[in-house]
Chain A
Amino acid sequence: MGIKWDEFFVTGDPLIFASQIGIALTLVGALAGLTYFKKWNYLWSEWFTTVDHKKIGIMYILLGVVMFFRGGIDGLMMKGQTAVPENEFLNAQHYNEVFTTHGVIMILFVAMPLLIGLMNFVIPLQIGARDVAFPQLNALSFWLTVSGAALFNISFIIGGSPDAGWTSYFPLAGKEFSPGIGNNFYAVALQIAGAGTLMTGINFVVTVLKMRTKGMTLMKMPMFTWTSFITSIIIVASFPIFTVALALMTFDRTFGTHFFTISGGGMDMLWANLFWLWGHPEVYIVVLPAFGMLSDIISTFARKTLYGYKSMVISIVMISVLSMLVWVHHFFTMGNSAGVNSFFSITTMAIAIPTGVKVFNWLFTMRKGRIKFTTAMLWALAFVPNFVIGGVTGVMLAMAAADYQYHNTLFLVAHFHYVLIPGVVFPIFAGLYFWWPKMFGYMLNEKIGKWHFWLFVVGFNVTFMPMFFLGLDGAVRRAYTYSAETGFGPLMMISAVGSVILAAGFAALVYNIYWSARNADRNIGNDPWDARTLEWATATPVQHYNFASLPEVTKLDAFWHMKKNNELQPLTEDEIEEIHLPSNTWIPIYMGVIFGISGFLLVFEWTIAAGIAALGILAGLAFRSFDYDEGFHVHKDEIFETESKWRKSAKKGVKNHVS
């Protein structure tokens, strides 16, 4: 197997040396701090072994925010490199690594954990359930995501980062042209995280189908639940394709098979097809839940029922079907026949129809509404024009013939940032401001929030708008430098300045979290936004059992109607029953660790050692199989005490904090 010690640590680059020292110091500091303040036990019993969907959701969000920082630094480095012609801040290899990790991290370790985090926290509450269908599996999903993220992130100090782009096209990503182990990190880390995501998909399909509270038919579900449900179905239908593609990549790179290499009869286009068969639906996996959040937030702050609820549902189902039928538009120029390109051109443009329906529904929801301009609502409002720019340029790219001109230029890069940032990041920010009080019991500061909003939105446009024009002028993507004669310099500089403003916006969010955690008012009642859906019907922050008695639903926007019809009766003592909950377990975090170790050994192609470590995975499964823990019951007295406390404070009239 040939142990590759000489490739173990990445050496020679001062930037990376500094990060290595930084990471080592942070680790030592964190470990020492935890030991000094005796927090190990608290962390272990309250967080690491938890199966509570709310805590798992919060940990997902934490992971996403931390990864956002890493992915953002990558972005800043790229912008710094291309700000002026012939810059020598990063060399070509380093630039390749940075744009590869930027893409992977932003999609798979920022967008996904943040969305799945919010899904985890919100969905069971929105459908009036006590937990997800499989709480232990949920914890396992989370720890596998962490494991994959950790493995992917150590690549830049140990072994070397992947450098073949986030799409990792063959033959470039093969052993011949990428001989180091960087692309092994890509194959293995994404495999582990992907397994976690697949299980999340299965979990939420069953949760939504089976755990809805009494009276909540499918057509009475809040939009965020609907979109998350459809997203989960797309996950189940598309992630196994990625699993296979990554496994075949690992086989090609580690065991010398011929799936994607030209020698031995393999086919590089097979990779492109498999990758985008997953990769295109993945775009909708991240966009749909974000659309759902917008629907809930817009109807809350426009104080109206969502316009065209049924057409919304139909359009997300249509989008989900079409999302599986468009993948070839990612490689119109790679030698398909005109017939194939025409088919995929038409299916691609067809997606604009249901998406357009949704945009108009949001606009009609706001029409004649008494809009409250909270920070969450501002994000939702900013979504509309910015996302429309992304959508329109998408239709431009969807024309196969025209795509021969735009493809592989910064125009494309600008397009998908205009889709993914307004379409995913804005809604996530909106969702964070909106649900933050439910998660932590205090609100994020609205004033700092507005700084965050304006810096981010302005920075975003200043960064990516010039890239449309650069692309039309012929600036190719993924080029680490360009000469002054191209004339790209000024626009590139503007774009780089924009990215700094963007980063300042993110810093404002971090500051907001810090400031609000210290100073925000804790006495906000259970329903600070005067909201419409069930998650606001329970205490803030939510008790560990979610609902003392499960609510009964008769209409869409159930909580709103309960408030209007004064149906929110105080709970009487004899209505309270013991609540059954699952116990904490160490198995999921153990599985995350052992998957990480096996994966790490496999990355270095130490296959025998990896095989031995993988026995630990089987041991974990066997342990789980023999685990007959029945969970525990929450005692009536405890429920009564908690419930009377928050209901009293809710009554005092601190409701509707913002009006």
Chain B
Amino acid sequence: MSAKVNAALPLEYQTEQNRMNILGFWVFLGAEIVLFATLFGVYGVLGERYAGGPTQKDIFIVKDVMIQTFLLLTSSFTMGISIFEMRRSNIKGMLMWLVFTLLLGGGFLFMEIREFIHYVHEGATMQTSAFLSSFFVLLGTHGLHVTIGIGWAILLIIQILQRGLTPITARKAFIFGLYWHFLDVVWIFIFTFVYLQGLVM
């Protein structure tokens, strides 16, 4: 509520409302962790129930997964640089790195959709077996988050262009950064517990 500004802090932390929004987003991420943990749990339970359908080894393509991982991890890095530029009040640099992040995220999404289409062509749909149901819903939930993130970032870029860097736009960018890094962390778990484990099983 309070509009009191503490100029000693970074832009996104300057107002009390901003600090609350950031804390609130952390709590929201806590809920997201529970959400993904549940999906991982479901995958852990159903991941070897193939019902005569294909297994992980039959469908996963290592090269494509490596590219996806590379794209998403790099996008997290560029996101970090974008916030770094924001702290230096360099709007141009901030936006440029944000656009890189978007492009990398878009590349990831493109690869993921291609992967899904490929699976479906192979006859591995989410109706085939419990393994594939849990696989598609876990991966799909992550992919949906990335998609929402891309839409979110576009709105963010428009607002920064309209209003420049204010405590409010800085807070929005910072929160988006948290969200994007979170998706990256989730992907590392997917990469480990879905792809790597599936390939060595």
Q: Are B39 and A244 in contact (CB under 8 A)?
A: yes
B146-162 CB contact bits vs A (8 Å, 1 = yes)? 00000110010001000
> At the interface, yes or no: A107 with Cβ under 8 Å from chain B?
no
User: A247-261 toward B: CB 8 Å interface, digit per residue (1/0)?
Assistant: 110010001111100
Whether the pair A259, B134 counts as a contact (CB closer than 8 A) is yes
Scan B133-172; emit 1 where CB is below 8 A from any A CB, else 0: 1101100000000000001100100010001000010001
Beta-carbon contact of B20 and A133 below 8 Å: yes
Q: Determine whether the beta carbon of B127 is less than 8 Å from that of A264.
A: yes
A238 CB → nearest B CB, Å: 8
Q: Contact string, A235-246, partner B, CB cutoff 8 A, digits 1/0?
A: 011111101110
A628 within 8 A of B: yes
- Answer yes or no: B35 CB below 8 A from chain A CBs: yes
Shortest CB distance B35–A (Å): 4
Chain A residues, CB < 8 A from B131: 265
> Do the beta carbons of A255 and B126 come within 8 Å of each other?
yes
Q: Point out the residues of chain A lying under 8 angstroms from B136, CB to CB.
A: 257
CB distance from A262 to the nearest CB of B (A): 10
Q: Separation in Å of the B129 CB from the closest CB of chain A?
A: 5
Q: Are B45 and A244 in contact (CB under 8 A)?
A: no
In the complex, what's the smallest C-beta–C-beta distance from B178 to chain A, in angstroms?
14
Number of interface residues, chain B, beta carbon within 8 A? 41
Q: Is B130's beta carbon under 8 Å from chain A?
A: yes
Q: Which residues of B contact A597 (CB under 8 A)?
A: none
Chain A residues within 8 Å of B126, by CB: 251, 255, 257
Residues of B within 8 A of A270 (CB): 42, 45-46
Q: Is the CB of A134 within 8 A of B24?
A: yes
Give Cα A284–Cα B114 distance, bound, in whole angstroms. 45
Q: A210 at interface (Cβ–Cβ under 8 A)?
A: yes
- Min Cβ gap B44→A in Å is 11
B167 CB to nearest chain A CB (Å): 12
Does A626 interact with chain B (Cβ within 8 Å)? Answer: yes
Instruction: Provide the residues of chain A in CB contact with B168, threshold 8 Å.
Output: 628
- Say whether A54 faces chain B, with CB atoms less than 8 Å apart: no
Q: Report whether B20 and A206 are in contact in the complex, using a CB–CB cutoff of 8 Å.
A: yes
B residues 158-196 near A (Cβ < 8 Å) are 159, 163, 168, 172
Q: Are A266 and B49 in contact (CB under 8 A)?
A: yes
Contact A626 B159 (CB under 8 A): yes
Is B34 interfacial (CB 8 A cutoff)? yes
Bound form: Cα–Cα A446–B158 in Å = 59
With A and B bound together, what is the CA distance between A327 and B71 in angstroms? 40
- The answer to whether the Cβ of A409 comes within 8 Å of any Cβ in the partner chain is no
| Structural contact, B38 and A241, CB atoms closer than 8 A | yes
Q: Closest CB of chain B to A241's CB: distance in Å? A: 5
Q: Which secondary structure dominates chain B's binding surface?
A: helix
By a CB distance below 8 angstroms, the chain A residues around B2 are 580
- Within the complex, the shortest CB–CB distance from A560 to chain B, in Å, comes to 27
Chain A hits for B155, CB < 8 A: 622, 625-626
Q: Is the CB of B1 within 8 A of A582?
A: yes
Once the chains bind, are B38 and A206 in contact (CB under 8 Å)?
no
Using known A-B contacts A264-B127, A270-B42, determine if residue A580 contacts B1 with beta carbons closer than 8 Å: yes
Say yes or no: A255-B32 contact (C-beta < 8 A), given A265-B50, A266-B49, A625-B159: no
Residues of B within 8 A of A203 (CB): 24
Tell whether, in the assembled complex, residue A257 and residue B46 are in contact, meaning their CB atoms are under 8 Å apart: no
Closest to A258 in B: B130
B54 vs chain A, min Cβ distance (A): 12
Whole-angstrom distance between the alpha carbons of A418 and B1 in the complex?
43
- Chain A 626-657 against B: per-residue CB contact (8 Å), 1 yes, 0 no? 10101100000000000000000000000000
In the complex, A414→B3 CA distance in Å? 53
CA–CA, A130 to B3, complex, Å?
Answer: 13
Flag if B130 contacts A266 (CB, 8 Å). Answer: yes
List of A residues within 8 angstroms of B34 by Cβ: 236-238, 240-241
Instruction: Report the Cα distance A255→B32, complex, angstroms.
Output: 24
A527 within 8 A of B: no
Indicate whether A258 sits within 8 Å of B129 (C-beta atoms), given known contacts A625-B155, A626-B155, A626-B159: yes
CB distance from B12 to the nearest CB of A (A): 16
A240-B38, A243-B35, A248-B137 known; A266 and B46 CB under 8 Å?
yes
Please tell me if the beta carbons of B20 and A210 are within 8 angstroms of each other in the complex.
yes
Q: Is A395 an interface residue (CB 8 A)?
A: no
A219 CB → nearest B CB, Å: 20
**A202 and B133 within 8 A (CB):** no
A205 to B24, CA, bound (A): 8
- In the complex, which residues of chain B have a beta carbon less than 8 angstroms from the beta carbon of A239? 31
Q: Does B19 contact A (CB under 8 A)?
A: yes
In the assembled complex, B23 has its CB within 8 A of some CB on chain A: yes
Say whether A74 faces chain B, with CB atoms less than 8 Å apart: no
| Interchain CB contact under 8 A, B51 and A581 | no
B14 to chain A, nearest CB (A): 15
B51's nearest neighbour on chain A, judged by CB, is A265
Could you tell me the distance in whole angstroms from the C-beta of A192 to the nearest C-beta in chain B?
Answer: 16
Verify if B27 is at the interface (C-beta below 8 Å from A).
yes
A131 interface hit (Cβ, 8 Å): yes
User: What's the minimum C-beta distance from B165 to chain A, rounded to whole angstroms?
Assistant: 14
Q: How far is the CB of A227 from chain B (nearest CB, A)?
A: 18
Which A residue sits closest to B156, measured CB to CB?
A625
Given A131-B1, A264-B128, A267-B130, also A259-B42 (CB < 8 A): yes
Cα distance A581–B2 in the bound complex, in angstroms: 9
Residues of B within 8 A of A277 (CB): 38
Taking a contact as CB atoms under 8 Å apart, the answer to whether A265 and B159 are in contact is no
A251-B133 contact in complex given A202-B24, A205-B27, A257-B127, C-beta closer than 8 Å: yes
Q: How far is the CA of A201 from the CA of B24 in the complex (A)?
A: 10
Contact of B28 with A by CB under 8 A: yes
Interface: A209 (CB within 8 A)? yes
A210 surroundings in chain B (CB, below 8 A):
16, 19-20, 23
Decide if A475 is an interface residue (CB 8 Å cutoff): no
Contact A236-B24, Cβ < 8 Å, known A266-B133, A274-B38: no
Question: Are A134 and B20 neighbours in the complex by a CB distance under 8 Å?
Answer: yes
Provided the pairs A257-B127, A259-B46 are in contact, do residues A133 and B24 lie with their beta carbons within 8 angstroms?
A: yes
| Residue A568 at the chain B interface, CB threshold 8 Å | no
Chain B positions within 8 Å of A256 at CB level: 127
CA distance A245 to B42 in the complex (A): 10
Q: A27 in the interface, Cβ–Cβ < 8 Å?
A: no
Is A198 on the interface with B (CB-CB < 8 A)? yes
Q: In the complex, A265 Cα to B130 Cα: how many Å?
A: 5
CB proximity to A under 8 Å, residues B18-74: 19-21, 23-24, 27-28, 30-32, 34-35, 38-39, 42, 45-46, 49-51
Apart from A210-B16, A251-B133, A625-B172: 19 A-B pairs, beta carbons within 8 A: A205-B24, A210-B20, A236-B34, A238-B34, A240-B35, A241-B34, A243-B35, A251-B126, A251-B137, A257-B137, A258-B127, A258-B133, A264-B51, A266-B46, A267-B49, A267-B130, A580-B1, A625-B155, A630-B3
17 contacts between A and B (CB under 8 A): A131-B1, A133-B20, A205-B27, A209-B23, A210-B16, A237-B30, A241-B35, A245-B38, A248-B137, A265-B49, A266-B133, A270-B42, A580-B2, A582-B1, A618-B151, A625-B159, A626-B155
Q: Give A contacts to B, CB under 8 Å.
A: 130-131, 133-134, 198, 201-203, 205-206, 209-211, 236-241, 243-245, 247-248, 251, 255-259, 263-267, 270, 274, 277, 580-582, 618, 622, 625-626, 628, 630-631
What are the 10 closest A-B residue pairs judged by CB atoms, nearest first? A265-B49, A265-B130, A257-B133, A240-B35, A265-B51, A240-B34, A244-B38, A258-B130, A206-B24, A266-B130
